[in-house]
Structure 1
């Protein structure tokens, strides 16, 4: 398998767990590429180098990594070209860029999509996967997924796509993704998608966003939506979705910030600390995270570090699960009022309107407008999967405030990894912000594994009967 736009390796990890051999990842970001190389090709630095798909041809990649003949060395290609790269390109433009090697000069948005197609054309894989956000079903009035399927059909593939929510597949996070799979036509495989293994009644926001995406689902001009597969909904008889508490409760308690023990500066991701709960029930999510893809270090868990929180931990402690920024701002105002009363009792309260008064308020009350940023903060509910992790976690992790008020903090790097279903043995290169970004950008590995298992079953069913044309590619 070849992973394009691999990031740190969420898709790679899921496919590897399903039995696929990870031949290489192509990733532009240096830290993400370093993480991918360290986890899938340890001790081989050539795999950890960043690579620009716009300047690296398939032949150069195969030669550099000694993969073998380009047309036969890769069976499966996976990846998610950023949707901005080909949004609003349109069916005529998609066909145009296939035959125009310099089409990116005319329309730079097409470039990354063009490179993905170029790699498919060169390696001629038996199967491929593309993933993206649900909005690609109607991006600027276009269904990018449907257009992609049509282009792939012109390339000799049978393709289909659907929407999958990671919480339905054992991930303690509600994350909706568009998943597109395709197989060489001569294989005779119809695209199919994994059925849910966990039950969750999606909260109103997620359920409505899915309904909107499907309601606005558009086909191609003059045609129907003929490649879309309605997603299977989970049965209430299935085991419940994995919750944030199940995912995080065994990790070490972090309270140094509550008494001034936290300082600004780089956080060492490599430092291991003992688990908060040395033993966890066999078969639990925590047990799975400790042992999937190899046991964690004997010293404990790494990457369990958080942002510096000189002001806001006092607010976090007063929030209830599910509270967002309006409640946080109100709690901060109460804290500020209490501080004024304390100072007034000893005749030390600053005069209203003075610089000292304004400075004291700033030490307690965040400056963000409640009306403009209602969802800027959120305290996680312990008995639900977490909300979607974003790539900007490194700069603003307040979207995931820990449910435990006694810790009064945002989630750590390792906790973010757990919520994405990265096992504890998975390491992230770079500093804390880079690690958060890699995690937020990734496809949850357990969701990737569910799709990979389905693809593996489809390919394995062929046995040794793969048609000659496909076998030789």
Structure 2
């Protein structure tokens, strides 16, 4: 394969996690054969992130340009100034992301025209990637929908956005496609019927949905379970398509459905993902080198001295409670005294050489030339929530990484929720334990942070965008644009790039076997 020989069409791209991973794949000779021709994304902040990263890929091999990129992310020059210095690369990045946010189903004429143009002018293999938005399939989304008066799943267009994916497949007729979605798609129903079997059937035969005559069908493969019948793969359980990311070097129990479609005329059979690590990668090993931060206050004056005093008082309350719950030897060495003089934002990466991230993830994440930490700023919390966060983190330390349920909370820490003791919100507060992989990073992290409490009680806070991005395996030099809430949403909705890179290597081998 030559550099840029494989055309990538990236749909529902978000901030670009899937495209980042696949486009980073290399041959044994160090050549990068995947080239993203177009990335389609409708949300403005994610689109801006996508464009910035597209630009970075185009200048990454130019040391002078890369240094100027570092100046931009450090705030020394503006994005417009950076783009004006490297106008050709900037224009190519903007063209790749269609110059502005675009939505499949709304801007189809423009999007389809660009895809047809790319396909017509391309001689090598093609691959379509992307995950139709999951709000209609996710368990949380279905719960919200159930509370909407007169809601009907069959009238929710989001259930059928995968058909927009099929339209692009019909235009591009790629050798391979990769489609990702939440595990909830396996159990989603419309009008009382399971959606997933129909989606599989439609992906096998795109022409039945799009009406385009003379296009090939596809064999749908699992990336984790070998197919029983190679020429027409069928799987016993729908869950055969579920990838448990923690088995493949991702420090997060992110369980997602990922389908690999191979065009019918291709005889080669894809390999499956190989378990990358003997044990799951822990949250501490991935986050411990990042600068320590304090949380902020959302309902009172935000001041470092007040924060330190508040957390010291919380530590005394907790120690008094814990002394009545645990034997002295269990509490020996437990220090809950907050760190002094912490900031809410710290971009100085002084501990990068002490990083404990295992290989090959360390090489994937770290950039020692970056010279700073991006998107590493805490949010504000209510005073009483800081005490709950400290309790959760301490409970985890004392109980081998177990996060407390509502029944484990002392009475004085119970929030004023009518259903607190009913079990409905038993894990309303969840610590990301130091000695385990993280739980799934979702877009809900943008709301309040209660499910994403940092394991260190001396920092007493929820995760920053950069910490969430680390758990999602975005490289440290990957800048998330937009405000902090938008950045959290982008990270939570993304495909882990390091997992996407492994999938890309499977696709690359498959295409090599064909040629």
Secondary structure of residue in 1 paired with 2:243 = strand
Tell me if structure 2 keeps the 8 A contact 1:8–1:438: yes
Cα distance change, pair 256–24 in 1 and its aligned pair in 2 (3 A): same
Q: Which residue of 1 aligns with 2:35?
A: 21
| Alpha-carbon distance, 1:383 to partner | 1.0
2:243 pairs with 151, 160, 164, which one? 164
- Return the alpha-carbon distance in structure 2 between the equivalents of residues 105 and 286 of structure 1: 42
Q: What residue is the counterpart of 1:242 in the other structure?
A: 281
1:56 paired residue among 99, 107, 124: 107
Matched, 1:7 2:21: no
Cα offsets for 1:219-270 (capped at 9, x unmatched): xxxxxxxxxxxxxxxxxxxx2111001110000011364983399xxxx999
Residues 150 and 436 of structure 1, relative CA distance in 2, 3 Å threshold: same
- Partners of 1:282 and 1:109 in 2: CA distance: 38
Q: 2:428 aligns with which of 366, 376, 383?
A: 376
1:14–1:445 Cα contact (<8 Å) kept = yes
Please report the TM-score for the alignment, with normalisation by the length of structure 1. Answer: 0.70
Relative to structure 1, is the Cα distance of residues 282 and 274 closer, same or farther in structure 2, using a 3 angstrom cutoff?
A: closer
TM-score by length of 2: 0.65
**Residues 452, 262 of structure 1: alpha-carbon distance in 2 compared, 3 angstrom cutoff:** farther
Alpha-carbon distance between aligned partners in 2 of 1:451 and 1:126, rounded to the nearest angstrom:
15
Instruction: Look up the match of 2:391.
Output: 318
Question: 1:6 offset after TM fit, Å?
Answer: 0.7
CA displacement, residues 60-86 of structure 1 (integer Å, 9 cap, x when unaligned): 455499635278687000111135669
Q: CA deviation at 1:296?
A: 5.6
The equivalent residue for 1:261 is: 304
- Cα displacement (A) at 1:119: 0.6
Q: Which residue of 2 aligns with 1:97?
A: none
Change in CA separation of 1:283 and 1:389 when aligned onto 2, cut-off 3 Å: closer
The SS at the match of 1:252 is: coil
Matched, 1:188 2:188: no
Distance 2:303 2:110 in 1: 55
* Cα distance, 1:392–1:404 mapped onto 2, change above 3 Å: same
1:428: how far off? Answer: 0.6
In the TM superposition, 1:411-450 aligns within 5 A as 411-450=463-502
Correspondence for 1:402 among 447, 454, 466: 454
* TM-aligned CA distance change 1:185 to 1:193, over 3 Å: same
- Residue equivalent to 1:75: 126
Distance 1:327 1:170, change over 3 A: same
| Matched ranges for 1:328-343 at <5 A | 329-330=409-410, 333=412
Q: Kindly indicate whether residue 177 of structure 2 is the aligned counterpart of residue 150 of structure 1.
A: no
Q: How far 1:420 sits from its partner (Å)?
A: 0.7
Segments of 5+ residues of structure 2 without an aligned counterpart are: 1-7, 26-31, 57-89, 139-152, 207-216, 223-240, 307-342, 397-401
Per the alignment, residue 344 of structure 1 pairs with none
Residues 120-139 of structure 1: matches in 2 within 5 Å? Answer: 120-139=169-188
When residues 196 and 6 of structure 1 are mapped into structure 2, their CA distance, relative to the original with a 3 A threshold, is same
**In 2, Cα distance between equivalents of 1:113 and 1:282:** 37
Change (3 A) 1:30 1:256: closer
Over the aligned positions, Cα root-mean-square deviation in angstroms equals: 3.3
Aligned partner of residue 45 in structure 1, secondary structure: helix
Could you say what secondary structure the match of 1:67 adopts? helix
Distance between the aligned counterparts of 2:344 and 2:119, measured in 1? 36
Q: 1:167 to 1:296 in 2, by over 3 A?
A: farther
Give deviations 1:31-58, integer Å, cap 9, x for gaps. Answer: 1111111112343334252111112236
Q: Deviations over 1:265-317 (max 9, x none)?
A: xxx999732244444368547733543xx65622x211111111241223322
**Distance of aligned partners of 1:86 and 1:420 in 2 relative to their CA distance in 1, 3 Å threshold:** closer
Instruction: Tell me the CA shift for residue 143 of structure 1.
Output: 4.8
Q: 1:41 to 1:270 in 2, by over 3 A?
A: farther
Larger CA deviation: 378-387 vs 14-23: 14-23
Distance 1:105 1:385 in 2: 37
Report the Cα distance in structure 1 between the residues aligned to 2:159 and 2:489, rounded to whole angstroms.
24
How many residue pairs are counted as aligned between the two chains? 370
Aligned CA distance change for structure 1 residues 296 and 31 (closer, same or farther; 3 Å)? farther
Secondary structure of 1:23 counterpart:
strand
Provide closer, same or farther for how the CA distance between residues 397 and 65 of structure 1 changes in structure 2, counting only shifts above 3 A: farther
CA distance in 2, matches of 1:270, 1:455: 40
